[in-house]
Structure 1
Amino acid sequence: MQTVRIMLALVALGFAGSAAAQAAPATATFRDWLAVCGNDGACVAFGKPREFGPAWVRVEMDAGPEAWPRIQFGYPDWSDGEQTPRFSLAIDGADLRTTTNIDGLPALTGEAAREALARMTRGSSLTFNSGQDPTEVSLSGASAALLWIDERQGRLDTPSALIRRGARSNEAVPAAPALPRLRAGAAASQAGLEGRSLPPALAGAADVGECLADEDLGDASPTVHRLGPDLLLWTIPCFRGAYNFGSVLWTTRDDGSDPRPLLLTNARGETVTEIINGGYDPQTRQIDAFAKGRGIGDCGLAQRWLWTGQHFELLEETGMDDCFGVRADYWPVLWRAELLD
């Protein structure tokens, strides 16, 4: 099985983007809990099963003094990839009842979420039961993960803290940081590109030649899109795995001259020339990529970059380092920018 660490190395992307100049996201592991904070100051903590099983808990806390925690409970049915429709919850044998629904998952918000967190940090396991064999989510590390979030968000010893609440005023909690603001470049006509072959200057580049020589690619062929009056973007298939398909990105002038590898920046400011399971959409002026850590797609990286008319800038990145059944819809946000009209 391909590991997420390998995928992180493959998909660290950038093209003179702004991500490196902004606050970097942070990730930490505390026994059976994973905590992640993004560039927007929002943080998420995940609890995972004691053993290989389909259940998890997600605690989210936005940045700023007015934030309240939200807790979601995921119980996927791995036979069809959907969520188990009905299940009960218990902390160390005592019932835990949800009060609402968020994004299709049973959830707790407001004071009910705070009360549940207090119980979770004192407990040892959270049991999911749908009438079949119960699945236990370990609560070992929950306290440390929530304390780490409180420290990151500057809310220790305030009434809004997740775990170490106190009398220090919520006014001391920093506001959410401003997001990068991006606007898409003007749409470029794609007329005249159909059937265009890879230009000799690009096909002759060493890295491109190695990609084209890969016999595992089958009938996959390069695609080309126009970014501007004299700038083309080439997406060249480069490798095929069990559930990941990689491509390299290059630019040339309209006549095929001046080939250059395209570098895309990820949330950590790292750069490579490959994207995984993705491509360019000229209507949105966005490149997307979705690198799977394993075949069911419950871990890895999902990313989007926006063509601004000058560069590709990172628009959004979500990711999950660990593989325990969390669908991409619920991955924590590592990076996001505000998309202007």
Structure 2
Amino acid sequence: MPRWMKSLLSLPLLYAACLHAEPVQKVISDWQITCNNLNYCVARNIPGDNGLVMTISRHAGANARSLIRIDYGNRYSGELPGGPLKDNLLLDQKRLRLDLKHWQSDAHHLSTAHNISMDEFLAQVMDADNIQLLYNQGATISLHGMKPVLELMDEVQGRQNSMSAWVKRGDRPAYDVPPEPKVPLVLTQPHPPKALSRDEVSGLIDYGTWRINTDECSLDPQRRQVSVSPLTDEKALLLISCEMGAYNVIDLAFEVTREQPYVGKGISLKLPFTLPGQGEKDLELVNAEYDAANGVLLTFSKDRGLGDCGVATRWQFNGQQFELAEYAREGTCDAWHSSDDWPTLWTSIRSNEPQTTVTMEADK
């Protein structure tokens, strides 16, 4: 019996049934690692604003699908001039030699998902100082921090001292690792709510503007934006702008009856995990948008105007409350990627979707 299974059986059954992976996001020297609730981990060198970035990702479990890629340029920089990477990379000032048989090579992109090729590459670079672009000395991948980041990835996925570990490899069989945690399901409403009438919209906006309790809001009532959407056939969702900054608007959310006399109740969003390094589970609604037809609430918090770092979340209304469907965070503001590619700390599937959708999203 695998060791991870023996340890699980030693736990109380109730506790074992509630186990879920706690997300991780951490910076070690010049590298950042993020592992989500499925123990899928992605790491890259930072900052990426010099244009050259190596990304290493790996799924949990014995299958251990992995990917290593090196990219020069992105959607912010556009296509950059210069020769192909395969011929122009230096490792500590000497030509980096790659057996490209199992690598995919484009002009400014190199990638491999071949296990032996990845092992050979990591053995070359693990204890080196940097990878540099021959024709642009400013485009450098610092390797300081890569080794401890990969060691942490092994630890999160339970690979220490196993044959599948990238650091501190041992004799334990590659299959003797914990499986990928179960994907959480988020339920949807049985049917979309009926649309709000013109009178309902008018009455609810007036209620949200002047009569609901927003005493803690810094914005003057005349400057507040109020949006209203059908939540159920009996209740509506009010989003009221409460505070405004350079890039973000913080909203308050209320569940309000659709008929007078209006009765409102505040809605708070609580994460199913503790934010790394913050110890909090409550989430502010920042730049919130609600899609009533699908019961999806989105938030998007930008750390700066470019929108290359911050937090993006997706919540699903199940007819009773909002459940977290996805949480993505990029803590490094280095113009490397937009919110579409931020690393995820939490992912899920809708109850009516096949499980393979999560696998596809995690490979981005």
TM-score of the pair, normalised by structure 2: 0.77
Counterpart contact for 2:33–2:43, Cα < 8 Å? yes
SS in 2 for 1:146: helix
Give distance in 2, aligned partners of 1:21 and 1:263.
24
- Correspondence for 2:264: 259
**Which residue in the other structure is 1:91 paired with?**
91
CA distance 1:244–1:83, shift in 2 (3 Å)? farther
Deviation at 1:83, TM superposition (A): 5.3
Please list every run of 5 or more consecutive structure 1 residues that lacks an aligned counterpart in the other structure: 1-19
Displacement of 1:308: 0.7
Q: How does 1:203-282 map to 2 (within 5 A)?
A: 203-207=210-214, 210-213=217-220, 221-255=225-259, 257-266=262-271, 268-269=273-274, 270-272=280-282, 274-282=284-292
Pair 1:271–1:167, CA change in 2 (3 A): closer
1:311-337, CA deviations, whole angstroms, 9 ceiling, x for partnerless residues?
A: 100001111122222313332210011
CA distances 1:265-298 after superposition (whole Å, capped 9, x unpaired): 2353545463222310012210111211122222
| TM-score with structure 1 setting the length | 0.81
Write out per-residue CA displacement over residues 223-252 of structure 1, whole angstroms, 9 at most, x where no aligned residue: 111111221100112233222232221111
Q: Is the 8 A contact 1:300 1:319 kept in 2?
A: yes
> Counterpart in 2 of 1:148?
152
2:175 to 165, 171, 174: 171
Extract unaligned runs of 5+ from structure 2: 1-17, 275-279, 353-364
The 1:214–1:194 alpha-carbon spacing in structure 2 relative to 1, beyond 3 Å, is closer
Aligned residues: CA RMSD? 2.9
Q: Secondary structure at the match of 1:303?
A: strand
Q: What aligned pairs does 1:191-202 form with structure 2 within 5 A after superposition? A: 191-192=196-197, 193-200=200-207
Q: Which has the larger radius of gyration?
A: 2
Q: Please state whether the residue corresponding to 1:58 is helix, strand or coil.
A: strand
Say whether residues 1:120 and 2:125 are aligned partners: yes
> Alpha carbons of 1:194 and 1:334: their partners in 2 closer, same or farther (altered >3 Å)?
same
Q: What is the alpha-carbon distance in structure 1 between the residues aligned to residue 329 and residue 273 of structure 2?
A: 12
Alpha-carbon distance in structure 1 between the residues aligned to 2:221 and 2:79: 39
- Alpha-carbon distance in structure 2 between the residues aligned to 1:117 and 1:85: 27
Q: Residue 33 of structure 2 aligns with which residue?
A: 35
Inter-CA distance 81–260: structure 2 relative to 1 (3 Å threshold): farther
Q: Shift of the alpha carbon at 1:75? A: 3.3
Cα separation, 2, equivalents of 1:137 and 1:214 = 50
AA aligned opposite 1:323: C
**Kindly tell me: are residues 123 and 201 of structure 1, through their superposed partners in 2, closer, same or farther at Cα, counting changes over 3 Å?**
closer
Report the residue type matching 1:30 in the other structure: I
Once the two structures are superposed, the pairs formed by residues 301-316 of structure 1 within 5 Å of their partners are 301-316=311-326
Deviates most, 57-66 or 158-167: 158-167
Tell me how far apart the structure 1 counterparts of residues 318 and 105 of structure 2 sit (CA, whole Å). Answer: 37
3-state DSSP of counterpart to 1:63:
coil
Whether contact under 8 Å (2:204, 2:258) holds in the other structure is no
Are positions 1:137 and 2:113 aligned together? no
CA contact under 8 A between 2:51 and 2:77: conserved in structure 1?
no
How far apart are 1:309 and its partner, in Å?
Answer: 0.9
Correspondent of 1:25 among 23, 32, 37? 23
1:290 maps to which of 297, 300, 317: 300
Separation in 2, partners of 1:250, 1:105: 47
- Distance verdict in 2 for CA 1:26–1:166, change over 3 Å: same
Aligned length: 315
- Aligned partner (choices 53, 56, 60) of residue 53 of structure 2: 56
Could you list the per-position Cα deviations for residues 99-119 of structure 1 after superposition, in whole angstroms to 9, with x for gaps in the alignment?
Answer: 2279x9642222222222222
Q: Secondary structure at the match of 2:96?
A: strand
What do residues 125-172 of structure 1 show as CA deviations (whole Å, max 9, x unaligned)?
Answer: 12245x455311211011101001101111112222122222211221
SS at 1:172 equivalent: coil
Change over 3 Å in CA distance of 1:210–1:322 after alignment to 2: same
Q: 2: CA distance between counterparts of 1:255 and 1:300? A: 38
Aligned partners of 2:186 and 2:195: how far apart in 1? 23
Using the alignment, how far apart are the partners of 2:90 and 2:215 within structure 1? 55
